[in-house]
């Protein structure tokens, strides 16, 4: 996955850098080792519709926020959303939980990004398919390449 990401970003002339660090999947701890803020982290959560587990959504939100499942269900739209089981997430994304990048490489996984992630920082950071390697990517390049659906999906504080 890491090589696939790097090749895609390079081919699309994205402004990015890679950071190698000790394995870490926790948003707060990985931000520290990256030297970034927690909110810059693009937290990727694979979810599915409760009524049809074949409806898969990769929800991307700032690392310092929580996912509002009701808002995500309204964005899809569907009745109820749940987190995909870890084994399903690994099977569908090719990555373990915590290492899933904020890109969908499957036509069967819809990409929904909270615009708050992109509004706060010029760069986003994420584990690049591995727990020991991160990419810090220009936010404009991320949107241009990933073409996500943008919806408010975070819990309101």
Q: What is the mean pLDDT of residues 121-137?
A: 95
Three-state SS at 80: coil
Question: Is the peptide bond preceding residue 77 cis, with omega within 30 degrees of 0?
Answer: yes
What confidence tier does 5 reach under pLDDT thresholds 50, 70, 90?
very high
pTM across the whole model: 0.94
CB 113 within 8 A of CB 137: no
CB 44 within 8 A of CB 100: yes
> What are the tens digits of pLDDT across the range 29-52?
889 989 999 999 999 999 999 888
CB 98 within 8 A of CB 25: yes
Q: Supply the CATH classification number for the domain 2-150.
A: 3.90.960.10
> What are the tens digits of pLDDT across the range 46-89?
999 988 888 999 999 999 999 999 999 999 999 999 999 999 99
53 versus 19: which is more confidently predicted? Answer: 19
């Amino acid at each position: 996955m890491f090589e696939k990401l790097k090749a895609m970003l390079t081919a699309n002339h994205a402004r990015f850098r890679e950071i190698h660090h000790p394995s870490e999947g926790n948003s707060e701890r990985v931000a520290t080792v990256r030297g970034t803020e927690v909110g810059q982290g693009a937290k990727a959560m694979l979810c599915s519709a409760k009524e049809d587990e074949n409806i898969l959504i990769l929800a991307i939100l700032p690392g310092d926020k929580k996912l509002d499942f009701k808002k995500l269900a309204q964005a899809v739209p569907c009745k109820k959303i749940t987190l995909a089981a870890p084994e399903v997430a690994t099977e569908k994304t090719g990555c373990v939980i915590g290492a899933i990048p904020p890109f969908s490489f499957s036509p069967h996984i819809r990409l929904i990004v909270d615009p708050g992630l992109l509004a706060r920082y010029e760069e986003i950071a994420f584990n690049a398919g591995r727990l020991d390697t991160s990419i810090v990517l220009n936010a404009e390049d991320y949107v241009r390449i990933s073409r996500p659906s943008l919806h408010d999906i975070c819990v309101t504080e």
